[in-house]
Structure 1
């Protein structure tokens, strides 16, 4: 597997380590993980996201505000409706890998190895 890396960014002394910790903190919430997963197929409205993650629109809006602050999602306004999408593929890749790691913790033979 080829990993696109910049050697300077992946050293223990990287200036990005503390920022990476903040990214993990943002993603360390089940509702936010569910929101990222719900956005994997594209843009969604707050109400649609609320239905998909089984939370109130107000709660989802609060989580989306945090994800926006962390530049994980972007918003597009259309009239009085807000539509959210992932900023790039990186948060999705982190979430997918975390889910795969969770499968290893729960299942003797994870489904992604079958």
Structure 2
């Protein structure tokens, strides 16, 4: 005797051609997927997320970031270099001092979206 929970899912092989074609037609190119993957890899680091959060709150110099995160200035400089190469942070010079901030509003929205997601019940 068989019931509905005994259905062999592997025997169900009907495809949804309209959905498949729609997705295939709008598929991003490989370079865009690579860039997006690289962005999320950079964001996937605990220290860099903390650094982005600090810069989300305020523009800071390396010394200030080191104080906030309780890390060495050289470690902060290394992380900032990675974030700069990913175009997530920018800098400006004021005399001998260099101040860092998030590159643009996209980074703010990306951070906020991630934060909302992890805080969502």
Report the TM-score, using the length of structure 1 for normalisation. 0.72
- The structure that is helix-richer by fraction is 2
1:13 pairs with 2:28 = yes
Pick one of 105, 108, 117 that aligns with 1:92.
108
Q: Counterparts of 1:92 and 1:78 in 2: how far apart (Å)?
A: 24
In the alignment of these two chains, the number of paired residues is 95
Shift of 1:101: 2.5
Equivalent residue of 1:40, what SS? helix
Q: Could you report, residue by residue, the CA deviation over 1:3-44 in whole angstroms, capped at 9, with x for unpaired residues?
A: xxxxxxxx4324422111111111111111111111113311
Q: C-alpha root-mean-square deviation of aligned residues, in Å?
A: 1.7
Q: What does 1:24-63 align with in structure 2 at a 5 Å threshold? A: 24-63=40-79
Q: Counterparts of 2:66 and 2:112 in 1: how far apart (Å)?
A: 21
Equivalent residue of 1:71, what SS? coil
Report the TM-score, using the length of structure 2 for normalisation. 0.69
Q: Counterparts of 1:21 and 1:89 in 2: how far apart (Å)?
A: 20
Partner of 1:7: none
Superposed structure 1 runs of 4+ greater than 6 Å apart: none
For structure 2, the residue ranges without an aligned partner over 5 or more in a row are 1-25
Pick one of 70, 73, 90 that aligns with 1:74.
90
Q: Structure 1 residues 28-37 or 86-95, which shifts more?
A: 86-95
